[in-house]
Amino acid sequence: MGEISTKQKVYPWLVVLGCGMWVSGSIGFLTIVAGNFYVPVSQDLGVAESDLGFYMTLVSIGQAISFPIAGRTIPKMNIPVHMTIICAIEAVAAIVMSTYGNVFMWYVSGLIIGFCMGFNTSIGVAIVLTNWFARKTGFAIGLAWAIGSLSNAIMSPIISQVIANIGWRMGYVVLGAASLVLMCGSSLFIVRLKPEILGLLPYGYDKSQEDVHVEDPTDGVSFRDAVKSPAFILLIVAMTLITSTTITNQLFTSYSESVGYGAAFGSLMVTVAMLADIAWNPLIGITCDKFGADKGVVLWCIVTALSFGCLSIGASIPAFAFIGAGLNDTMYACYGTGIAMLTAFLFGNKDYAKIYSLVPAIGYALGCMGVPILTGIYQATSGYDSVWLVCAICDAVIAACVILAARNSKKLPRTE
C-alpha cells in the first residue's frame, strides 16, 4: 500500500519530466538550438541565411497542419508505441540533415519535423498533463516547458562547440541523437496517456477531501458549440496576436544595433530572455492555478506590456534593455502554458483536445506574418519605439479578448 501511495505522489512529476523531455528534444533542440547551424551551413553551401531560415517557416506550417490531427488522435494513442514512432521519425529527419547538400532538402526535413512536433509539444503536453493532474495543472504544464528552456540553455553552447570543433555535419548527428534519446526515452519508459493505465489516480485527487474537485472528462462545452461561440473567436484573436508578438526576441540584435549597442549586446539580450523563460513558465502556471486562467493571462499581459516600456527606455539606459528582455518572454510562456489553461477554463474537459488543437493551428496560420510586419514598422519609422508601442497595444487587446471570452463562456451550454 505504501508503494502505491509513493508512486501516486511521485509518478505524476515523472510524467512532467517526460513531457519536458519531449519539449526539449523537439521544439527546443530542433528549432531554438538548431539556430546555431544557420551561419555555418549557409556559408558552406553558399546560400543566404534567409534561404536556410525558410526551414523554420516550414516547421511552423508542418505544426499548423498536424495540430488538429494531434488533437483528435492523441487521446486514443498508445504512447509507448505511437508517440515513440513519431518522435523517432522527427529525430531521424534531423540526423539526416548531416548528409544534405541542397537547401531544398532542409525544407523537406522542416515539414516532417514540424508535423511530428505538432504531437509532442503544446498539444501532447497539455492533453497528457491535464489527464495526470487534478490540481496544479498549470504549474505542471509550466514546469514541463521550463525543463525545455533549461535544456535549451545547456544544449545550445554544447552544439556550438561541436560545430566549431568537428563541423556542422557531425553537429546534426549529435543534436539528432540527443533528441532521439530524450523523446523516445520519455515515450517508452515514462509518459503514459492517463494515470489509470498504471493503476493510479490524477495528482491531487482525494475523494475524502471535499475541497478537491476533479472535473469529469465529459464535463464542459461540446466542440460544435465551442467553435461557433464568440469566446472561441476571441481566443483565436488573442492567440493570433500572441503568435505575432512573441517573436520580438528575434529582433533584439537588430534593436541593439539600431541604438548603437552592437550585435553582441543583442545576443546577450536573447540569452537573458531564454534564462528568464525557465522561471516564467511555472510561475505563469501557478498564477493560472491560483487566480484562474483568465486573470492569470491578463496579469501577464500587463507584465509584457511593461517590458516594452522598459525596452523603449533601454535605448538610452542599457540596463533597462536587459530588464525588458527578461520580462518580455512572459508572453512566450503564456503561449505554451497560459493558453492551454485558458482553453480548459473557457470550455471545460468534454472536447478539450479537439478545441485546443485548433487554437495554435489557427494562431500559427494567422500570426506567422509577425516578423515581416514588425520589421516593416521599424523600417517605415526608422526606430523601434513604434514597434514596442504596437506590441504593447496588442497586449492590451489580448487582455480585453481574454476578459470578454471569459464572460461569454459562462453562457455556453455545458454537459455535466
pLDDT tens per residue, the chain (416 residues)?
555 578 888 999 999 999 999 999 999 999 888 888 888 898 999 988 778 878 887 888 898 899 999 999 999 999 999 999 999 999 999 999 999 999 999 999 999 999 999 999 989 999 999 999 988 998 999 999 999 989 988 898 899 899 999 999 999 999 999 999 999 999 999 999 999 999 999 998 765 444 434 445 557 899 999 999 999 999 999 999 998 888 787 788 788 888 999 878 887 888 888 888 888 989 999 999 999 999 999 999 999 999 999 999 999 999 999 999 999 988 878 877 889 889 999 999 889 889 999 998 888 778 777 777 888 888 888 889 999 999 999 999 999 999 999 999 999 998 76
Task: Tell me if 314 sits within 8 A of 258, measured CB to CB.
Answer: no
CA–CA gap between residue 250 and residue 324 (Å, rounded): 14
Structural domain harbouring 311: 223-409
**What angle do the packed helices 49-73 and 38-45 form, to 10 degrees?**
120
Q: Are residues 134 and 175 in the same domain?
A: yes
Reduced to 3 states (helix: H, G, I; strand: E, B; else coil), residue 133 is strand
Tell me, what's the pLDDT at 2? 53
Eight-class DSSP state of 348 = B
Q: Are residues 323 and 381 in the same domain?
A: yes
Query: What's 268's domain CATH number?
Result: 1.20.1250.20
Question: In terms of Cα–Cα distance, which of 272, 253, 249 is closest to 322?
Answer: 272
Residue 44 lies inside a defined structural domain of this protein = yes
Q: Are residues 188 and 251 in the same domain?
A: no
Cell numbers for 309: 516600456
Distance of CA 379 to the CA centre of its chain: 29
Q: Are residues 239 and 150 in the same domain?
A: no
CA-angle at 332, arms to 160 and 97, nearest 5°: 35
Task: Tell me if 25 sits within 8 A of 88, measured CB to CB.
Answer: no
Residue 215 lies inside a defined structural domain of this protein = no
Task: Tell me if 102 sits within 8 A of 155, measured CB to CB.
Answer: no
Tell me, what's the pLDDT at 366? 81
Residue 361 lies inside a defined structural domain of this protein = yes
Residue 173 lies inside a defined structural domain of this protein = yes
Reduced to 3 states (helix: H, G, I; strand: E, B; else coil), residue 116 is helix
Write down how long the chain is: 416
Q: Are residues 38 and 126 in the same domain?
A: yes
pTM to 2 decimal places: 0.84
Task: Tell me if 345 sits within 8 A of 296, measured CB to CB.
Answer: no
Q: How many Cβ atoms are within 10 Å of 38's Cβ, its own excluded? A: 16
Residue 365 lies inside a defined structural domain of this protein = yes
Q: Where are the alpha helices (DSSP H) in 167-193?
A: 168-189
Asked which of 198, 232, 248 is the last residue of a domain, the reply is: 198
Q: Are residues 134 and 69 in the same domain?
A: yes
Residue 207 lies inside a defined structural domain of this protein = no
Q: Are residues 171 and 267 in the same domain?
A: no
Q: Are residues 251 and 340 in the same domain?
A: yes
Q: Are residues 256 and 176 in the same domain?
A: no
Place of cell 526515452: 185
Q: Are residues 174 and 244 in the same domain?
A: no
Task: Tell me if 356 sits within 8 A of 340, measured CB to CB.
Answer: yes
**Total domain count for the chain?**
2
Place of cell 544595433: 257
Place of cell 493571462: 297
CA-angle at 32, arms to 31 and 33, nearest 5°: 100
Asked which of 198, 232, 251 is the last residue of a domain, the reply is: 198
Residue 217 lies inside a defined structural domain of this protein = no
CA–CA gap between residue 342 and residue 347 (Å, rounded): 9
Q: Are residues 189 and 247 in the same domain?
A: no
CA–CA gap between residue 27 and residue 121 (Å, rounded): 7
CA–CA gap between residue 401 and residue 345 (Å, rounded): 14
Tell me, what's the pLDDT at 211? 43
Residue 369 lies inside a defined structural domain of this protein = yes
Task: Tell me if 362 sits within 8 A of 236, measured CB to CB.
Answer: yes
Q: Are residues 244 and 296 in the same domain?
A: yes
Place of cell 522561471: 279
Tell me, what's the pLDDT at 61? 87
